Every structure is written in structure tokens, then in C-alpha cells.
Amino acid sequence: MSLTIAASTEILSAETVYDLLLRVRGKTPRVHAITNAVAQNFTANVLLALGAVPSMTIAEEEVAGFAGSADALLVNLGTLDETRRAAIPLAIEAARAAGRPVSIDPVFVDRSPVRCAYAAELLSCGPDVVRLNAQEMEALFPARAGVEEMIAAGTVFAVTGEEDKIESSNRDFRLSNGHPLMARVTATGCAGGAVLAAFASVESDRALAAACGLSVFNIAGEVAAARACGPGTFMPELLDALYAMSLPDIEARLNAA
């Protein structure tokens, strides 16, 4: 089978990132986030600071209504309890039926074979965006088996790490923003996944949306770290940095190739 994979890495401009941020602020998309219990409050506040709107119910009897009427769906497997297991397939089905972008964040699948098997089942829906780190990628796709097929079918992979890599069928990006303090508080990765979902709701080029969303969130992390005294003051500074993000902030810090 012939696969269509992006042949080269594209340069991301500050103006493009800011334009998508303005589109998020202008549309105020609602992101339905099925996320882990630890991350819910911070994720909701990150979306609000960004200019989006959160909804988060996991009740089986109403999750389809919330997900189907939202502008994007985020599925985060950070705390994969019985209630979430029942709600997630209903939410994905409703979002798919409504034509909404679906993002999946298979958190810690490298630590639990049961979770990894469940995540593999979810990925069969062909999500728009999969956000994960290198360890999670290897657990789900040993030696990248199956990755190229999913990319060719339209899924975008946002592989985060010291360098973030966006892989898609039509364009790739490499991003190097962020700060070590982002790893010293809980929920930043989960909240970052919600930012990607918000950007995907305003841009049909999911690779571009993922690159811009990661850039905004990680630049906000850099701005926050410059102002914070440590982890305790970092989180409120991150919310403020997202809320006040400007074109000069992006121009001064964007590190993309």
C-alpha cells in the first residue's frame, strides 16, 4: 500500500499562531473534556483563560448530548474508571456523528496493559488528533507499527517531549517551546490537550491547529515561569499568560522549525 506522509518539516510563523488564537477567542468554542479527576479544575480554567468554554460531564445518560453539541471533544485517559469507560464511547460516537473533531490523549498507556488495550480500541475510531509522549507512542505502536496507516487516513500525531513533533499526511512541524516548571505541577499536560482540541475546532488543518495550540500553551508556560517563584505561583501565572497572550509574546519566544 502506498502511504501519503508529509515529506518535510514546515516553518511555523508567529502571525499564523496568533491568527488561530484570535479565532479561538472570537469563536469561544466549547470543548467537552472527558479528563482525569486530578486535571478537571485546572483544565476548565485553562480553557476559559484561552477564550474557550469547558464542559465536563461524564454521566452516561447525558454525555452524548454534551459531546455532540460541543465544538470539540477531548478524551483523556488519566483516570480510567468505570464511569469514564462507559461514557467515552458514547461521547466519541456523538461527536463523530456531529462532525466535531475528536482528540485522544492516551495518558500512561505505557504503565498499564489494560489501559493500553482500551486505548487501542478507541484509536480505531480514527481520531483527528492523538497527543502522547514517546513512551506512550511505543506502547501503542511498537516500532511505529500502524502509525503511518493512521496518518495516511487523516489522524494527526502530536508527540510531546523536549522537542514536540507534529506528524500528519500533509505537513509536519517541530516545536521547542516550554519550561521545566510545567512538569513540576500536575495537570499541565492534560490541560494542554484541551488547548489542542480548542484549536482543532477552528482550523480544519489539524496539524496546523495542533502546532499552534502547543505553541501558545508552551509559550504561556515560558512567560509564566519567568514571573513565578516556583510551582505554587506557576499555575496562576500560566492562566494569566494564556489570557493576555499577544503577538509580541509569540514573536519573542516562538521556537519552531
In order of start, what are the domains of the chain with their CATH numbers? 14-253 (3.40.1190.20)
Reply yes or no on whether the pLDDT at 72 is more than 90: yes
The Cα–Cα gap between 163 and 179 comes to 12
Burial class (CB in 10 A: 0-12, 13-18, 19+), 256: buried
The Cα–Cα gap between 203 and 208 comes to 8
The pLDDT, as a whole number, for residue 257 is: 61
Reply yes or no on whether the pLDDT at 50 is more than 60: yes
Burial class (CB in 10 A: 0-12, 13-18, 19+), 216: buried
If pLDDT is split at 50, 70 and 90, which confidence band does 1 have?
very low
- The three cell numbers of residue 206 are 489539524
Reply yes or no on whether the pLDDT at 103 is more than 80: yes
Tens-place pLDDT, residues 78-96: 999 999 999 999 999 999 9
If pLDDT is split at 50, 70 and 90, which confidence band does 202 have?
very high
